[in-house]
Amino acid sequence: MAIYYVRPDGNNSNDGLAPTPDRAWQTLTKAANTVTAGDTVIIAPGTYTETLSPVNAGTVKAFIRWLGDESGEVFGVSPGSVTIQAPTDSDCIYLVKPYHEFGFLTLKPQAGGAGFRNAMDASGDVVIHDIKAVEYLGSTSFYGHLFIPGGTTGTYNKYLVKRVYATVPLRFVTSARNVIISQALSIGAVGQYESNGVWVSAYSDADNQSTIHIHDSAFVNYQNRSCFFSTGCTIYAERILFANSAYAPICGYRLSYPVTIENYKSCVFADISATDLATCSYTSYPGMLSLYDCAIISSPTSTSGWSAVLSNRLESLSDLQDYDLRFPNLYFLERVNPITGKANIRIPVVKWGRFFMEIPVRRGDRQLTLKIKKSWTGSSVKVLVNRETEQTLADNTDLQTLTFNFTVPMDMYVPLEVWAKASDYTERSVYITEIAVA
């Protein structure tokens, strides 16, 4: 279980066992052809124009880990993104073997390719976290998606996907038996060919359908396609924001296997200009839709094409902050460097943003100090500690220090919340650089 290092100024004739230029490898391909179960590959900031395709599998107890060092501290270089740029008409990561973990990477897939493509020849799991996919290289292809799980017939692959930011569509198809997506932010690709925000398709065996669990995520700015598009899956969606869509945000299409059930709980539908909230078309089998405890803001409430619709507690609101207690924990991207242990928190704000966490505190009189800043002016950012003390950031882009004094009666977790609201769907950010309790 070795640790290997890759950096742009390394050399593939090195042993790869240290982060210095005279020891580190130069390419991901060298690492992909070498590492085995339990090994870790740490990747320096820079752009790697190649397809990462590991030849060996990990095991259920010994994943092969691929981690970008965005801080640059391990390699003694300046901070920066760790970018995998796909070669022409190709993928960033082409998976043939299971039990791999990928984290802290920026992907630039090619048109006709994908950020991740599943071509696995064996059943197994994949963990994907802290991924940015900020563009794909090409503007007319139907592809350029972030994920395209495919795989050999008879393989049953499970994906855990957490903390993903994408301005290319997400897509999960065939052989992804179980997909769990958490804290994903997908923004419609302005000026590029736009597919659906999330496109999930059923496993090709009617007795073994795909199940998609997705929560605490947001899909916004989809003007040419639906935010969420499915063909014959069982979907469990909770605390999702669907916003600024010109098409019905939920679309069931060509349901192939009995019975497709889609469940949406505590979701928010905002600024939807379509006729319907959810449509279902070209069905061979019944499609059942459940909407529970959802908020509707400047959006339709009608549905069409489903064989059965269960709607409970749909609330029409004027503002997202009126949905306080059940508001999705959207946009929470906590970037923790797994090598140095340092952390910073970025909260993307696409018209709305909310961050929530609980801080362990000992009983007695306590003081919490927060260093925080925002990237824009003209609207407010509020911080609430212990649900009783609220402060508003000054309207500038400087790093600000906020101090909160409070008393806790016993050792407990104290909630910290950050609320942000802007005027439109242009992306902005709130940054928390330090949290200290005394």
User: Domains of the chain: which residue ranges?
Assistant: 3-195, 342-437
pLDDT value for 230: 75
Name the residue with higher pLDDT: 422 or 53.
53
Mean local confidence (pLDDT), 373-378: 92
Q: What is the CATH number of domain 342-437?
A: 2.60.120.260
For residue 169, give both structure tokens. 């569509």
Q: How far is CA 198 from the centre of its chain?
A: 11
pLDDT above 70 for 343: no
Torsional sign, CA 92, 97, 98, 99: negative
- Residue 28 or 294, more confident: 28
What is residue 246's predicted lDDT score, i.e. its pLDDT?
Answer: 81
User: What is the predicted pLDDT for the residue at 141?
Assistant: 46
Burial 72-87 (b: 16+ CB within 10 A, else e): bebbebeebebbbbbe
For range 82-102, the mean pLDDT? 88
pLDDT reported for residue 158: 76
DSSP 8-state symbol, 14: S
Q: What are the tokens at 436?
A: 């200290």
Query: What pLDDT is attached to residue 151?
Result: 52
Query: CA 66 to CA 56: how far, in whole Å?
Result: 13
Bridge partners for 352 per DSSP: 350, 421
- Strand ranges, E, within 46-113: 46-49, 64-68, 82-85, 93-95, 100-108
Of the pLDDT bands very low, low, confident and very high (cuts 50, 70, 90), residue 11 is: very high
Encoding tokens for residue 368? 């919490």
Q: Give residue 402's pLDDT band: very low, low, confident or very high (50, 70, 90).
A: very high
Of 382, 266, 269, residue with least CA distance to 326: 266
Q: What is the pLDDT of residues 144-192, one digit of tens each?
A: 566 665 555 555 667 788 878 777 667 665 555 677 888 777 776 544 4
- pTM as predicted: 0.80
The overall average pLDDT reported for the chain is: 79
In Å, how far are 9, 106, 223, 226, 268 from 244, measured between CA atoms? Answer: 44, 26, 8, 10, 11
pLDDT digits (tens, 9 = 90+) for 226-262: 777 777 677 888 888 888 888 888 887 765 555 567 8
pLDDT band at 392; cut points 50, 70, 90? very high
CATH architecture of 3-195: 3 Solenoid (2.160)
* CB-neighbour burial class of residue 36 (10 A; exposed 0-12, middle 13-18, buried 19+): middle
